[in-house]
Amino acid sequence: MKILITGGAGFIGSHLAQRLLDDGEDVIVLDNLSTGCQDNISRLEGRKGFECVVGSVRDQSLVYELVEQCDNTIHLAAAVGVKLVLDRPSHSIHTNVNGTENVLHAAAVQKKLVFIASSSEVYGKSAQPSFNETDDLILGSTSNLRWSYAIAKALDECLALAYNQENRVPVIVGRLFNTTGPRQTGRYGMVLPGFVTQALQDQPITVYGTGEQSRCFAHVYDIVESIVRLINKPEAVGQVFNIGNDEEISINDLAEFVRDATGSQSEIQKLAYGDVYAAGFEEMQRRKPSLSKLEKTIGYRPRTPLAKIVDDVIEEKRAALNLL
């Protein structure tokens, strides 16, 4: 089987490409290398069945050509990270929506399977103790561009499910919750690699807001395993799944955990959102997924403990900083 991964030179995409090649699949990676990078896939170059195409998911003719060559498409390409979205909101909207439309339009011709990567951001400001796939979405005002990513991802989901209903395109939507692990950069506001890098250099560990907001962090290996299982489950087609870990921790506790795990002398420094982002920035206080639907469908759920996730990120960052 040949599988196209859009955004395949990115953090998640590169791990997924490696896993699929190990499983004996052929893989084509499409990436414009704006947030992904060649280093992520350098170990895959030269492997039988691997091809990397440098190009944009917004290039309709290119996407059509690549989807036509492949049996399945895993669509990960997106503008990601709060900082990037706020710095370039129109670019983010166009990339996320136009790219998804191009993939679905190409897949519709031959009814090829498409996995669409969505985000826990679509739940918006919901105060639910944990999020279920059928819960209502509570998004902020369009005048606050902080919510543009969530709105674009919700539209991606609607497009996918509409293509499934109207054109019988086999689609699966996965809402990813705070995926982290080796190869993730803190450059676009990703919290764990940012904390680890600061701690290893004995710089202040910067916590935004009160730090009482909580998150659930999933190891990228668990996310890859979930996606691989989903695309091989016919009963998953036409459905939406939460994909993440449900081990919850406050950002304050995460900062202390990272400091202890690295043996760092860093102080923990609080920064108001207004000092980092545009005025009016709003944050979700909790993001805990319900995983019962995922586990029931694929017989698996992400369970890697936070301690193991943090250790893996520390090991990689130590090597990158020549601190081994």
Q: Which residues are identified as catalytic? A: 149
Provide DSSP, 2-19.
EEEEETTTSHHHHHHHHH
Q: Which residues have C-beta within 8 Å of that of residue 291, sequence separation ≥ 6?
A: 242, 244, 246, 301, 302
What percent of the residues of the chain are helix, what percent strand, and what percent coil, each to the nearest 5?
45, 20, 35
Q: Answer for the pair 118, 153: CB distance below 8 angstroms, yes or no.
A: yes
Question: For residue 7, what is the DSSP state?
Answer: T
Rounded-to-integer distance, Cα 113 and Cα 236, Å: 11
Rounded-to-integer distance, Cα 266 and Cα 250, Å: 18
Tokens of 176: 């990813």
Rounded-to-integer distance, Cα 175 and Cα 133, Å: 9
